Chain A
Amino acid sequence: MAVLFLVNLANVAANFAGIAGSLELFSVSRYISVPIGAALVWLLVVKGTYDSVEKVFLVASSFYFAYIVSALMVQPDWGKAMEATVTPVG
């Protein structure tokens, strides 16, 4: 139970660090983004029903498809990427 609490706490901290870091790229201060993020998460957890939470998660998940576009945009060495996918680091 204590381990679970600590791991979850670290996870929450990492997520808030992510919110702070990503929005600072857009020049939003962490002292603004983190409290707003925390309030939104609190609302979702405390007031949200399954239907509303599901919709929020679906919208949030759709943003992940940006990574596919982003990976194509950086034009990586695909041969090397495929090779590295199946071989451990040397």
Chain B
Amino acid sequence: MINHPGYIAVLVGLVGTSVAPWMQFYLQAAVVEKGIDEKQYRESRIEVVVGCVVMSMIAFFIIVSSAGRFGSRGRARFRTPPRRRWR
């Protein structure tokens, strides 16, 4: 269940791509650079929450589309083009 290797890999991948270190610094810097004062804190917080919700929704659709394409039903018609050498 929880200690399934695939589950751990997905968990690490999801957390690692969702909470990258640079984002923490970028968010802080963006709040400062945008010149947000105390009155706009509420709106700024709403913006962050909406962003997180939308991002999770998109992550859901990314997982569904790749699972549907590469997953159990074995109907993957997807091919990468032959690798070309740089000359």
- Interfacial residues, chain A to chain B (CB-CB below 8 A): 4, 7-8, 11, 24-25, 27, 29-31, 50, 54, 64-65, 67-68, 70-71, 73-77, 81, 85, 88-90
Residue ID in chain B nearest A27 by CB atoms: B81
Cβ B64 vs Cβ A88 within 8 A: no
* B48 CB within 8 Å of chain A: no
Which residues does chain A contribute within 8 Å of B80, judged by CB atoms?
Answer: 24-25
Least distance between B29 CB and chain A CB atoms (Å): 9
* B44 CB within 8 Å of chain A: no
Q: How large is the interface on B (under 10, 10 to 19, 20 to 34, 35 or more residues)?
A: 20 to 34
The interface residues of chain B, by DSSP majority, are classed as: helix
* B53 CB within 8 Å of chain A: no
Other-chain residue from A11, A71, A75 in contact with B20 (beta carbon distance below 8 A): A11
The interface residues of chain A, by DSSP majority, are classed as: helix
Cβ A71 vs Cβ B65 within 8 A: yes
Cβ A11 vs Cβ B21 within 8 A: yes
Other-chain residue from A75, A77, A88 in contact with B7 (beta carbon distance below 8 A): A88
Given contacts A67-B65, A75-B68, A81-B67, contact A89 B58 (CB under 8 A): no
Cβ A71 vs Cβ B68 within 8 A: yes
